[in-house]
Chain A
Amino acid sequence: MSGELFVVDNLTVTLPTSRGPVDVVKNVSFTVGRDETVGIVGESGSGKSMTALAVLGLLPRGARTSGSVRLDGAELLGRSDRDLRSVRGNAISMVFQDPLSSLNPYYTVGLQIEEMYRTHRGGTRRAARRVAIEALERVHIPDAARRVDHYPHQFSGGMRQRVMIAMALCCSPSLLIADEPTTALDVTVQAQILELLGELQSTTGTGMMFITHDLAVISSIAQRVLVMQAGDPVEYGTAEQVFSDPRHEYTRMLLDAVPRIDDEVLS
């Protein structure tokens, strides 16, 4: 498939452990197109997050990778840390699970957006501050010009995740990796964040790699789905196909585990 924005080809991640090296991600392959959302689903420990961290070269010390990860045709695996810095946050940015611990409590949200923008785009603090305010407005944070000077602990959980998303998108990346972005939030806020991500994607054309263990979330946002189990990719296909006609036993198990509102109550 030429012209794909982002290609992961046969990615394997090996971590050193006290009992020898362990493959936590095994031969994973998938692609993300422009404007497309690919969901990666699996239980915790299935290697979803490791896949994401491998893409940006943020794996724990001693980790080894093989295979290929390409953005717009350029190989990312095996590049030096210094080299990857221009990619991180700029071409590929990331939103993490817990927005409170993922933002630095010692600095205003404005400064945390500004430092990232200025690292990649340069310019004055004033210009960066304007960008930060615009970024906050884009994720519908009310009174952004005032809120830009607030600290993370002064925001609610949902608003904090909006800040993270605003930050992730401030350099207009071509790929956004969202690692369980709604897991730490309550259900109504989850829906708002998903809606926001969908809306932003349709205006920016950013490709999205959406990691979650929540099948309901995936079905509402992803066009393609990769199911992982213990580091193995067990099923990969369009969302429709995976959900309506799961080929793999494990996918079926996952789908059956989702409680349904029309389930019969056991008497």
Chain B
Amino acid sequence: MPGGPAQDQGRAITEAAGANPQLSGQAGSDTTTQSLPAASPNDQGSFSPWGSFSRNSPLAALILQRLALSVALLFAVSLMIFGGVEALPGDFATTYLGQSATPQAVENIRKDLGLDQPATTRYFTWLGGALQGDFGTSWASRNSVSEQIGKRLGNSLFLAFFAAIISIPLAIGLGMLAVQFRDRLVDKVINVFSLAAISLPEFFVGYLLILFFAVQMGVATFPATVYDGMDFTQRLSAIALPTATLVLVVLAHMMRMTRAAILNVMSSAYVETAELKGLSGLRIIARHAAPNAVAPVINVIALNLAYLVVGVVVVEVVFVYPGMGQYMVDAVTVRDMPVVQACGLIFAAFYIFLNMTADILAIVANPRLRHPR
């Protein structure tokens, strides 16, 4: 799924800024202690224990709020994944057996799959199981879903991990390079290439790499099969091409967002102040720009990692890599609902977790919250 993080960029920034509306602009009254409270969401119920807690340590309060929000979100998502499937038309037993099945067979399979029980019962059974790591049995293979996921999740994370540790430093480096040479040739070249890279579908990049490196040059392996008993270096060589694909796809986004985040800081009034103090370019960047750019850049990284978890789906299909993504896509084609639900929930959980991490890091990096009045 290309184009993911760019869409979320505005969101992350508004959330980071929105985290604390009472901070901006405080010119005016010269009396800090009695300064007029600009409406703060935390000031509600000033005398409640939560109110005094959030005043004394706004940082902890905000983080707790964000954590609670994520849990609530995850719960709501589980409800949507389950309820959405429930509310949609079509009977799975019929789908499962085909249109020609006898009513008796349909009835049997319904009972077998537990579909005859009320939806709420099934939801809580499912959720209770999911919380303990039990996602039921696959309709198609009759295997335990959790067992399958256990193996494949590791593979997917292995792939995503390597893609991340390569793309993050590369993206930040290139982003800083683009800022350093902004509006000059280097910047323009990087801009054109990243614009093109954003526009490429993952599968196109993947097949291009396969054709070139695996088929024509024969330096890489395809398909990227991994199995138990493979040693580490063998695994690494197997995931070389899928990792490269993911890096190429995620790099452009991350780099463009990094560039924008740093440029935003570089055009601020306090960087101008530093410049008018006669400081060296290096010191301006290291001492005045960097501390303020950390939060937005971390945000960018976390958002792109969240995207990476999803980008894995297509790349796994392209390279026939035995990960979560392929598992889910296969399940979708045969309408194996327990697997689809389990994979959907796990992907969503990762996504929510990484977005939460991004927000929390942004909160922690904000000096205004670290050092309350």
Do A and B pair up? The answer is no
